[in-house]
Chains A and B, each alone.
Chain A
Amino acid sequence: MVEIKRYSPVAFKASPKRTEVRDNWTVVLEYDGEGQAAFGQSSVNDNYLVDLSHITRFDVQSSNLDSITPFGIKIPQGLCESYLQDGVLINRMNRIQASVFCLPNKKNEMLTECKCDADCKCDPQNSSSYTETTEVGMCMAIIGKNVFSITEKLTSLDFMDSAKTTPFLYQAPMSHIPCQIITLSRDSAKSGIIFTASRGYGKDMVHAIMDAGEEFGLKPAGEDKFKSWLNNL
């Protein structure tokens, strides 16, 4: 009898300490040795790589994107602007397209106030404008003090560009692989990015990032570390 499970494209060389099964995903909440302290509470300036490939993501496309409000939230108007509200991260990709990430601290009750009819423009499960893209890519976050020292070994993108305000989106290569990278914070020790890339690159991407982060003590962390970081933003 085969057990039905969903597998992340990302695997770390670390032993999960606490896990939780969610929609057939085995989500690692904490790894051995990552430290139990919530993000920012530890005296050590650690840097973490977190696998978020299980979080639900959508592609939204419409010639009238302004009329669409994923989970009741407006899509940012400016190209490559992002917006984070109540755990929903929306990124404007181009004139007709946006991506939507349901981060682990997303509030599920958001749709209860929705009064839309059929083809509801705020419900990704109900509208034809949405395509679920959870399976398309891996999704990871790098958080900690040295995030941008690590990323500058992987990409020439200027995350500290003063003309941009967080959160903002880059659609560009990291470690030579096309990615969507959202800079959520560049505030000293609370710096962090979340990014997606084609699922098939998961293994090699982890290898490249861990290698780049080795000198900064980058280590794998579970979802709880990411949540505590997110809640601190």
Chain B
Amino acid sequence: MITRINQLPTLRVDPANKVVFDYKGKDYVGVKGDTVATALYHNGVRIFGRSLKYHRPRGLYSLDGECSNTCMEIDGIPNVRTENTLVKQGMKVKEQNVKGSAENDMMGFIDKLDWMMPAGFYYKTMHKPASIWPIAMKQIRKAAGLGVLSPDFEMPGKFDQIFPSADVVVIGGGPAGMNAALAAADKGLRVIIMESRPWLGGFFDYRTFDYKDAQYKNSKPLYSRARELASKVESHANIRVFKHTSVVGTYTNNLVTGFQIGGDNDKFNERYIEIRAKSVVVAAGCIERPLLFENNERPGVMQVACAHRLARTYGILAGEKAVFSVGHDLGLEAAVDLFDLGMKIICVADVREDGQNPYLMIELAKRNIPYLKGWVASEAHGSKRVNKVTMTTLDGTISRDFECDLVVASAGLTPINGHLTLAHAKLRYDSHTNFFVADTMPEKTHAAGRMLGLEDSLSIEVSGKLAGLNAALDCKLMPQSYGNTEVDALKSEIESFTAQSKELPGPARGSKFVTAPVKGRKTFICFDEDTTIKNIKQTIDMGFDVPELIKRFTSAGTGPGQGGIPGHNLPLYVAKYTAASSKCFSSSSSSSIQSLGATPKPTNVRPPLVPTLIATYSGSKHIMMKRTPMDEMQRADGGVFRKIGVWERARYFSDDFSCKKEIENVRNNVGMLDGSTLGKFRIHGPDALKVLQRVYVSDMSKVKTGRVKYSAMCNDDGCVIDDGVVVKLAENDYYFTTSTARAGATIEWLRYHTRFDGWDFYVVNLTDSMGVINLSGPNARKVLQKITSEDVSNSAFPFSGYKEFIIKDTIPVKAMRLGFVGELSYELHVPSSYMVSLWNMVKDAGKEFNIQNFGVEAQNVLRMEKCHIILGQESEQRTNLLDLGLGFLWDRTKKDAKTIGAVALRQAENDPTRFRLVGFEMENNGRAARDGALIVDDKVRGYVCTARDSFTLNKAVGMALVESHLAKVGTRIQIFEDECKGELIYGTVVPMPFYDPDGKRMKS
């Protein structure tokens, strides 16, 4: 275990507060504030896991989760980014992707077989002979992927979601972001600031440095300035701070999504955040561009900020003897600071020929740290961790070896501009900064800080202020916002800050160095996918010349790091190599990209920008389903419920899913079904009838008071989209039902199809307002008569009749005499709040007949025996009214109505190619075919809509949609079922309906 430096003012850990966790079955001790990775590092762990393809040892590299090096299994969850996960008491941590251990991985030998796996090898090998591929595929699938998750794993913890509102969202809690937030909030706007680390401060937070040139009065160190700003931000009434919150997506119209990791006092483990703002400021800063050299991912090689933050934020010195190979001033600053903290710095190599901060050069000299200008690391040595590094001049002519246990390496900086590109900013390569910068910004989006190439502290802060003010202007220019005076004042303030910013240093010249002079066999451009420079060269030599395609072919940048490591280097290297190849230069020469005339093209980024758990997206997991008023009672009666559309409905009332008893009870006695899910509507107003004429195929002027009329609605293609009954309540006042599935779309359907007519009508959705009891069976009348004084005899209340009556002087009922199940049936529509009471009354009245519930499946079989259709079951998108044999509903004479679908139906009337709905029974007393089974000969000729073993008819029957030449009664049909292995089953077309063809039972 390394001794922790406990007294640093920059620390973000509490060394006095110990945290005990389990790593591979042993107790380890970290401190509060440690990440899992820093706690393990503190305990001497250097190899965190093995790489995806070659099983190379991998260790701490970025400290920000930019690659999969430190992904581990934590509390059973694989692929947790340990650099971003705070260690907690009792946590169980395991290494992953190893056979044996990370230290001694039995699969490590694969690293020596890299010659067998050139770029895209799986596209080209193992395909001939073809029989090899299924075997090879299984092995590749076994080897691919990181971590293992059991299919029945249940995610522990609480996951939540939040949709806060804001005027301005600031992405990034560094100095620029905090200044932007303060500037906008001071204008009275509601600001949200999102910061991925558990604290605000960004790249100021860990730096004790100041440039001694009075940038801040009193020569304030940067961390102190960061905390001062953070204090202002966190105490500002208009600013809401989301720390430990990563932004995963930015979309048009300023939609920002992210996720927050819960702290000790939070009620969630993680929560999804979605914000629709009026303006967005992106101040996400920069990450380091990895230096490309042989074994550049060997444990012991790490980025500058990783080594620096490890010391300053966590109090851990990453090594004893370090060699620096860098391309920016932050590297020099880190070397000076780490030297002062006790690290031995063997030398600092800088790929830049000029442009170094002279003050830093003096500080290096003061400490006698050897400075190698124009040198670079070319190879790290050591089988499992670094013990030596070879340094060379940029042209590779001179080399020297240095013994060390730490190589701090970084080629330059790269802006985190994924947020801008997701929001549709167009990026272009900027040769001065060597960055990809936004050429055109998305509307109401502003960038600030280091991502613009700024390095000077004051320049960064002023750019943040400017972005905040511009965001404020976006909000204030909105139609409903504020007066012109305020806008004018804001504009002049922006002008003043713009002028001020011009006095300050602008974007700094960026290092353009890409790769050390190496062949690249073990120079990794993407750690996650084990993609080397050699692989990229192979791909380009095969003819790929676009970085996006090279990314696909080599997988570089498609791993958990989401392109963080290779995102910038890949296009730079491709541009340089392709240009160099065409000019016969060596790609590893020190020639700059610009001098070769190459223009790097960025690769795409996609959300999520930062990986997180699917459980976080799932949130609190409330399943929102509709329940009928009878839900509880039917469950108590043994109902087996299923999700049907937006509803939960009782499908069965026993374990016998053939529903034999339920069916026989309705056929022979009396049953009750909860039909409350039916769509129910009132339409009224002077033009209500015109609307009905338009949407229904029948002549709705013939709807008579006291009668129900069954009809159907079609779309413009004549295809049936809905059916139901219509009742006339009064003049221009109707009550109608729709199928359950269509209820939600009915009002829009009516409005859409009358949108140019200017008709005066009003529709009210009463679907949930009315419960429906379907009372069916030969004894239904006797039961109904017991609860009402109304005459419900066949003469007073015949088939297709409609009555309104009040039960027990209290419960108003709309009663319809229908016959969907083929028996004497009543549909009782009752206010939902009274439904339970009426249901109990019916049940009470039916006791002497032993009345029983029946569910949706029994109803399905009963109506199928009667050949009554259910839309969606006996129809699909292309099925028209005539196909279903419902042509009798269509009134061809009501031309004024412009009935929807009438034109198409006329055209389809004599079309012999259309399907027909037919009834069939299975041959030789065979079982029913499965719903959806195909009707075939040498081609597919149709499909089975519904088929069941009918207990009423003692045979298996069903309905099918078939080509018209198969529709004739007596035709033998062949039925193909899934996985039937060529064994067809057979049926014969028979007349419909199968049961009570004259309708005597339902009309009696």
- Chain A residues close to B by CB (< 8 Å): 1-9, 24-25, 59, 61-63, 96-97, 128-129, 131, 133-137, 152-161, 163, 175-177, 198-205, 207-208, 211-212, 214-215
Q: Which of B276, B620, B831, B833 contacts A211 (CB 8 A)?
A: B620
Is A207 in contact with B832, judged by CB distance below 8 angstroms? no
A219 to B622, CA, bound (A): 19
Q: Which of A25, A96, A175 contacts B624 (CB 8 A)?
A: A175
B160 neighbours in A (Cβ, 8 Å) = 153
CB <8 Å contact, B769 and A135? yes
- CB-CB nearest in chain A for B165: A158
B631 contacts the other chain (CB 8 A): yes
> Which 10 A-B pairs rank lowest in CB-CB distance, beginning with the nearest?
A200-B626, A61-B762, A156-B163, A6-B833, A158-B165, A199-B768, A135-B769, A163-B480, A215-B267, A136-B769
CB-based contact B624/A9 at 8 Å? no
Chain B residues 224-271 with CB under 8 Å of chain A are 267
Query: In chain B, what residue has the closest Cβ to A199?
Result: B768
Q: A3 and B837: CB pair below 8 A?
A: yes
- Beta-carbon nearest neighbor of B623 in chain A: A204
- Known pairs A136-B765, A152-B163, A200-B647; list 7 more (Cβ under 8 Å): A61-B764, A131-B682, A131-B684, A152-B164, A204-B623, A204-B625, A214-B267
- CB pair B624–A5 under 8 Å, yes or no, is no
Given known pairs A136-B768, A153-B161, A212-B620, the reply for A2 and B833 (CB within 8 Å) is: no
Residues of A contacting B766 in the complex (Cβ-Cβ under 8 angstroms):
131, 133, 135-136
Number of contacts between A and B (CB, 8 Å)?
A: 127
Contact B834 A177 (CB under 8 A): no
- The reply to whether B768 and A198 form a contact with Cβ atoms under 8 Å apart is yes
B685 to chain A, nearest CB (A): 8
Question: How long is the Cα–Cα vector from A128 to B731 in the complex, in angstroms?
Answer: 11
Contact: B481 with A200, CB < 8 Å? Answer: no
- A94 to chain B minimum Cβ distance, whole angstroms, is 11
* Chain B residues near A4 (CB-CB < 8 A): 808, 810-811, 834, 837
> B161 touching A133 by the CB < 8 A rule?
no
B626 touching A163 by the CB < 8 A rule?
Answer: no
Q: Is the CB of B682 within 8 A of A202?
A: no
Q: Secondary structure of the A side of the interface?
A: loop
Question: What are 16 A-to-B residue pairs whose CB atoms are below 8 Å?
Answer: A2-B844, A4-B834, A5-B836, A6-B837, A8-B833, A9-B629, A61-B685, A128-B730, A131-B766, A135-B833, A175-B622, A198-B767, A202-B627, A204-B625, A208-B622, A211-B622
Question: CA of A160 to CA of B760 in the docked complex: distance in angstroms?
Answer: 36
Contact B190 A9 (CB under 8 A): no
Given A2-B841, A202-B627, A214-B267: A135 in contact with B768 (beta carbons within 8 A): yes
Interchain CB contact under 8 A, A137 and B274:
no
User: Do the beta carbons of B764 and A63 come within 8 Å of each other?
Assistant: no
Number of interface residues of B (CB under 8 A): 51
B691 shortest CB reach to chain A, Å: 13
B124 to chain A, nearest CB (A): 47
- Most chain-A Cβ atoms within 10 A of its Cβ — which of B480, B768, B811, B837? B768
Interface mask (B160-196 → A, CB under 8 Å = 1, otherwise 0): 1111110000000000000000000000001000000
Whether a CB of chain A sits under 8 angstroms from the CB of B628 is yes
Interface check B60, CB cutoff 8 A:
no
**Can you name the residue of chain B whose Cβ is closest to the Cβ of A60?**
B762
Interface residues of B in 765-795 (CB under 8 A from A): 765-770
Q: Which of chain B's residues have a CB closer than 8 A to the CB of A63?
A: 760
Q: Which residues from chain B contact A129 at a C-beta distance below 8 Å?
A: 762
Q: Does A156 lie within 8 Å of B808, measured CB to CB?
A: no
Q: How far is the CB of A38 from chain B (nearest CB, A)?
A: 29
A132 to B, closest residue via Cβ = B769
A199 to B767, CA, bound (A): 9
Q: How far is the CB of B844 from chain A (nearest CB, A)?
A: 6
Cβ–Cβ contact A160 & B165, under 8 A: yes
Q: How many angstroms between the C-alpha atoms of A152 and B625 in the bound complex?
A: 21
CB-contact partner of A199 in B685, B762, B764, B832, under 8 A: B832
A contact residues around B625 at 8 Å (CB) = 201, 204
Residues of A within 8 Å of B685, CB to CB, are 61
Chain B minimum-CB-distance residue to A155: B163
Chain B residues whose CB sits within 8 angstroms of the CB of A25 once the complex forms: 833
B833 touching A200 by the CB < 8 A rule? no
Taking the complex as formed, is B733 at the interface, i.e. its CB lies under 8 A from any CB of chain A? yes
Q: Which B residues touch A202, using CB under 8 A?
A: 627
Q: Provide the bound-state CA to CA distance between A185 and B480, in Å.
A: 21
**Which of B624, B628, B760, B769 is packed against the most chain A CB atoms within 10 Å?**
B624
Chain A residue, CB-CB nearest to B164 = A152
A156 to B622, CA, bound (A): 16
Distance in angstroms from B256 CB to nearest chain A CB is: 12
Task: Indicate if the CB atoms of B620 and A128 lie closer than 8 Å.
Answer: no
Question: If the complex has contacts A2-B841, A4-B810, A200-B628, are A152 and B622 also in contact, measured as CB distance less than 8 A?
Answer: no
Name the A residues within 8 Å of B810 (CB-CB). Answer: 4, 24
B840 within 8 A of A: yes
Give the complex CA separation of A176 and B625 in angstroms. Answer: 11
Name, among B620, B765, B833, the residue most crowded by chain A CB atoms within 10 Å (CB to CB): B833
Least CB distance from A163 to B in Å reads 4
Alpha-carbon gap, A6 to B771, bound state (A) = 12
